[in-house]
Amino acid sequence: MAGDKLQQAEQRLRDGDFAAAEQLAKEVGPTYEAHIICGRAAMYSGHSQRASEELHKATSLDPTAIPAWESIAALHLNCGDVLEAAETYENLLTLAKEQELQEKQREFLWRISDAYDKAGYLDIAENRLKELLEQELSEEQQLEALCFLADIQIKVERMAQESRVQNAMQEQERQFGRMTRSISGLRLDVDAERAEEQELEQGGLADTLKEIVGRTMPSPRYVRFHEAHVQRYLSRLKAFPPRSSARNDKRMEALRECVRMITTSAGGCTTPFPFEAAIWLLEEQEELYGGALPVYKSDSMEQKRSPNASPLSSPKHRSSLGAPRVATQLNWFRGNSISQNLNGSLSTQKLHRMVSTVKHEQEQAANGIGANGKPVLTKVEDFGIKLAHQFPWAPTAAVAVGLALRRRFLSSPDAPSGVVRRLQVTKTLKGGVMSGADSAAGWKALAELQYQNRQWAAAYETSVRGLEWSVRRRASGCETLTHFALALRLCAARCLRRLGRLDEAEYAFKVLAGWVTEGVSAFDELSGSAPVSIRQQALRGLAKIALERNDTVAAKAQYERILGKALMGRGRPAEHWAHSEYAWLVFEDGDLQTAKDHLEKALKEASREGCAVTEAELAEHHYKLGRILWTMGGNMRDDPTMARGHFEAASKEECDSQADACAWLGHWYKDINQNWFKARNCYKRALALQPDSTMIAENLKFVEQKLREQKVHVVEPPQTPRRPGSGRLDAPGLPSAIALSMGRAHSANTELAEISIVRSGELPAHIRGRK
């Protein structure tokens, strides 16, 4: 009878009818089970005092029974007394150990840790969790306990760091009477110190995070632990001076850990942070060691340095092992395109051939071509593609894709339109950079592409924002990206000149010319840019500003500094633009032959293999050479392959001189060839590109007047229906002249829609009669 009522009371308790459950339990009498049911019913009804009395009556009847103590602990938690609940669970743990209840011991250890965590006693909670991890747990239970332990240890670490920061602030106040460093700087120092100290702690946060990262599959649930694990490696870098060997060792260690997380066989990363960190670390490597070629060591030279070497180090023995070898200087990220089998004799001639071959492969690798002629990926591109596949929404993925496209496909001869592709890559890069991607190469490539797209204001804004990002990055304790900052300053100065802000541009160019001597900026390969000499470009900018101020003497002096230093071998060889722009100044002075020689050097240098030159720059060279040949006169002007050929090449590309090239092409057709129709078309296009030119308008008016004077008739191709059963057009009765003009109009080998000119006096009589 009593047992049935207890079962009914428990059922009412489960159904939520607490009053009925308590009434049925009271009818049973003062038993252990009845007091527990009454206590739980009172607790669920909100009567905490009555619930406590009932539950303590149950413990007085059987002090070693666990259910009553569990209900008391739950009552403390319900009332917010987490410390009382923790002490109650401690008693329960003791009872479970005495009764050898393994499952209950694991449960109570977890609940004790949770209660002490809520009460703020993190050290006790950490110890209890470590005790729990020593129990026999399933893989799922062990992983959950590790995650809980990591959460507590992260809280402990934050409290320890905050205490250190406060102590450092007080120490500065005591020594100097004021704060000599910012609070953010103190936090960075403390974070770096603690990250390094954690490596020496057994069972600390570092070990816990390693365990979690090694056990977890890709899942959003474990994102915070993976990111904390990577951040710990990044924080350790800041404990060492910038550009020091110790810091570089820690950087490589962090990079190896990121690569291990990216390429793990467990299924990949749970967060894009390892990909982003790897790319970020490789950008620092590019800043410090960018452009460094491999060092080729000869074993015969080593043998000379080691006269007492063992027989194993003899040239003969090492020749069988592959004697000449390549020792790279931290350029691992550039891809694996260098030949691995470099065997052969130790003759100097063969070693030179080997070095030449590897250098050629290095140049090809810079353009994404491997030793076997197939495209290869750099490590940055490899990480970027994996990131784009696994986390396509990440801003860094968009930047990585945009950089890879710029580096590999913008100069492809099969591209339908370089302008269209450049705009698409610009849009991709802008979406990633403006969404928060931390990529120096992305900022640089975006600014340069906007400048190439003639978006001067947008390129200047991007350059300024990129420099501000660089300052914030340096303030956070990262390496100073000097080459990146120089490249953006150069782009900003160019944009200022294009926008007409000459004084600001002149100051920026002078600063750049004074800061650097000779050298190629870094981030060229990562951002898909051509190698650039900052100093030469700064001097070039000063020359262009002098030209805009009509000071040709100062402009020539700047170009002569570039060309003269290169000729004396004291700097980089002069680039194609230096010859071209200096030739134009010489041409304006009347020295036609010297100007012609420099323009031909410019085109030769631009056509050299490996020279990165844009179509717009080539068009400028062709226009200038065409003008010089026109001025030289004679065959230089009359030959269609000379002046006209260069004008035609320049008129096809969008550049600063496109309108002038079209106009001078019209001059050639008007004065030399006397083809009024082609001259008119050239002038029309030139006037569309430069509507305010009175010279072009007058020449167009003159040509149109000539056409009216000659009473030109334009013969349009007739719309003749197809003859039934015939697969070709039939034009019966048409004279041969019109038939030929139709053929020319439809021929794919002639220029677009070339119109036949037939003078009225030459028309057949039956056609003149129709008129």
* Tens of pLDDT, residues 61-83: 888 888 888 888 888 888 888 88
**In this predicted model, which residue has the larger pLDDT, 223 or 288?**
223
pLDDT at 373: 45
Select the more confidently predicted residue: 575 or 457: 457
Considering the domain architecture, whether residues 618 and 508 belong to the same structural domain is answered as yes
Q: At 138, phi and psi to the nearest 5? A: -75, 170
Within-domain flag for 291? no
Last residue of a domain, one of 619, 642, 665: 642
**What are the C-alpha distances in Å from 408 to residues 107, 292, 332, 377?**
58, 21, 19, 10
Say yes or no to pLDDT of 211 above 80: yes
Whether residues 146 and 267 share a domain: the answer is yes
Residue 298: pLDDT band with limits 50, 70, 90 = very low
How far lies 726's CA from each of 533, 731, 736, in Å? 66, 12, 21
Q: Which residue has the higher pLDDT, 219 or 639?
A: 639
Helix (H, G, I), strand (E, B) or coil at 326: strand
Which DSSP category does 711 fall into? T
Same domain membership, residue 481 and residue 599: yes
CA 308-312-314 angle, 5° bins: 65
Cα 679 from Cα 675, distance rounded (Å): 6
Range among 160-174, 180-194, 425-439 with highest mean pLDDT value: 425-439
Strand, helix or coil at 755? coil
Q: Do the domain assignments include residue 614?
A: yes
> Average pLDDT in the 666-691 region?
91
Query: Residue type for 658, please?
Result: Q
Question: What ranges make up the beta strands (E) of 192-308?
Answer: 295-297
Please report the pLDDT score of residue 286 as a whole number: 79
Q: Cα(210)–Cα(214) distance, rounded to whole angstroms?
A: 6
Residue 214 lies in a domain: yes
Q: Which of 237, 271, 305 is the last residue of a domain?
A: 271
Query: What is the mean predicted confidence (pLDDT) over 349-368?
Result: 47
pLDDT-derived band at 682 (thresholds 50, 70, 90) equals: very high
How many Cα atoms within 13 Å fall on the side-chain side of residue 148? 26
Most confident of 56-60, 286-290, 335-339: 56-60
Buried b (16+ CB within 10 A) or exposed e, 86-113: bbbbbbbbebbeeeebeebbbbbbbbbb
Q: Which residues of 682-719 are buried (b: 16+ CB within 10 A; e: fewer)?
A: bbbbbbebbeebeebeebbeebeeeeeeeeeeebebee
Same domain for 534 and 621? yes
Shared-domain flag, residues 621 and 723 = no
Residue 237 clears pLDDT 90, i.e. is over it: no
pLDDT at 343: 34
The pLDDT value recorded for residue 214 is: 84
- pLDDT band, very low/low/confident/very high, at 337 (cuts 50, 70, 90): very low
Mean pLDDT over residues 552-563, rounded? 88
**CA torsion angle 4 5 9 12 (round to 10):** 70
pLDDT in tens, 688-746: 999 988 999 999 999 998 888 876 544 445 554 444 444 443 443 333 333 333 333 33
Question: Distance of CA 698 to CAs 513, 707, 749, Å?
Answer: 44, 14, 32
> Is 561 inside any structural domain?
yes
Cβ density class 12-42: b for 16+ within 10 Å, e for less: bbeeeebebbbebbbebeeeebbbbbbbbbb
- Residue 417 has phi, psi (to 5 degrees) of -160, 120
Q: What is the pLDDT of residue 467?
A: 94
Burial 744-764 (b: 16+ CB within 10 A, else e): eeeeeeeeeeeebbbeeeebe
- Containing domain of residue 759, as a range? 713-770
With 70 as the cut, is the pLDDT of residue 361 above it? no
Same domain, 432 and 564: yes
Task: Give the chain's domain count.
Answer: 3
- Torsion sign, CA atoms 401, 402, 407, 410: positive
Whether residue 635 sits in one domain with residue 738: no
Is the pLDDT confidence value at 16 over 50? yes
Structure confidence at residue 20 (pLDDT): 82
325 inside domain: no
**Measured between alpha carbons, how far is 200 from 435 in angstroms, rounded to an integer?**
38
* Choice between 521 and 453, residue whose per-residue pLDDT is larger: 453
- What mean pLDDT is reported for the chain? 76
What is the length of the chain?
A: 771
Q: Residues 6 or more apart from 181 whose CB is under 8 A from it?
A: 172
Amino acid 332: pLDDT: 36
CB 410 within 8 A of CB 422: yes
pLDDT at residue 655 above 80?
yes
Q: Is residue 473 included in any domain, yes or no?
A: yes
pLDDT digits (tens, 9 = 90+) for 602-628: 888 888 776 767 788 889 999 999 999
Q: Of 27, 37, 84, 79, nearest to 58 (Cα)?
A: 37
Evaluate whether 732 touches 716 at the Cβ level (below 8 Å): no
Phi and psi, residue 714, nearest 5°: -95, 120
Higher pLDDT, 26 or 99: 99
For residue 401 the two structure tokens come to 């894709």
Q: Are 623 and 650 in contact (CB under 8 A)?
A: yes
Res 222: pLDDT: 87
In the block, residue with structure tokens 């179509």: 615
Task: Tell whether 638 and 728 lie within a shared domain.
Answer: no
Rounded alpha-carbon distances, angstroms, from residue 154 to 270, 576, 702: 19, 58, 83
Q: Both 638 and 717 in a single domain?
A: no
Q: What residues contact 658, with CB distance under 8 A and at least 6 apart?
A: 619, 650, 651, 689
pLDDT computed for residue 477 by the predictor: 81
- Between the alpha carbon of residue 732 and those of residues 719, 735, 736, 770, the distances in Å are 12, 9, 10, 17
The residue type at 55: L
Q: Which of 138-152, 242-256, 740-754 has the lowest mean pLDDT?
A: 740-754
Residue 373 CB partners (closer than 8 Å, separation 6+)? none
Local structure of 520: helix, strand or coil: strand
Number of helices (H) and strands (E) in the chain: give both, helices first. Answer: 37, 4
Q: Of 286-300, 559-573, 656-670, which has the strongest mean pLDDT?
A: 656-670
pLDDT recorded at residue 80: 85
**Interval 457-487: pLDDT, tens:** 999 999 999 999 999 988 888 888 888 888 9
Q: What are the φ/ψ torsions at residue 501 (nearest 5 degrees)?
A: -90, 75
CA angle 136, 141, 146 (to 5 degrees): 100
pLDDT at 94 over 60: yes
Considering the domain boundaries, does residue 722 fall inside one? yes
Closest to 276 measured CA to CA, from 225, 227, 236, 211: 227
Highest mean pLDDT among 30-34, 558-562, 647-651, 755-759 belongs to 647-651
From 609, 625, 642, give the residue that closes a domain. Answer: 642
Query: What would the pLDDT profile of 576-588 be if each residue is shown by its tens digit?
Result: 888 888 898 999 8
In this predicted structure, what is the pLDDT of residue 685? 93
**Spatial CA neighbour of 236 closest among 274, 196, 209, 200:** 196
Using CA atoms, how far apart are residues 456 and 453, in angstroms rounded to an integer?
Answer: 8
Higher per-residue confidence, 31 vs 222? 222
Which pLDDT score is estimated for 719? 52
- For residue 659, pLDDT over 60 is answered with yes
pLDDT-wise least confident of 320-329, 401-410, 519-528: 320-329
pLDDT value at residue 458: 95
Residue 293: pLDDT over 70:
no
**8 A C-beta contact, residue 613 and residue 630:** no
* Stronger pLDDT, 192 or 291, i.e. the higher one: 192
pLDDT tops 70 at residue 318: no
Helix runs in 263-321, H state only: 273-289, 299-305, 315-320
* One domain for residues 717 and 627: no
The residue-averaged pLDDT of 280-302 equals: 56
Mean pLDDT, residues 374-386: 72
Residue 168 has pLDDT above 70, yes or no: yes
pLDDT at 750 over 70: no
In the predicted model, is pLDDT for residue 145 greater than 50? yes
261 close to 213: Cβ distance less than 8 angstroms: yes
Give yes or no for a contact between 759 and 712, defined as CB atoms under 8 angstroms apart: yes
- The answer to whether residues 624 and 743 belong to one domain is no
69 phi, psi to nearest 5 deg: -65, -35
Please check whether residue 158 is in contact with residue 194, taking contact to mean a CB–CB distance below 8 angstroms. Answer: no
> Does a structural domain hold residue 246?
yes
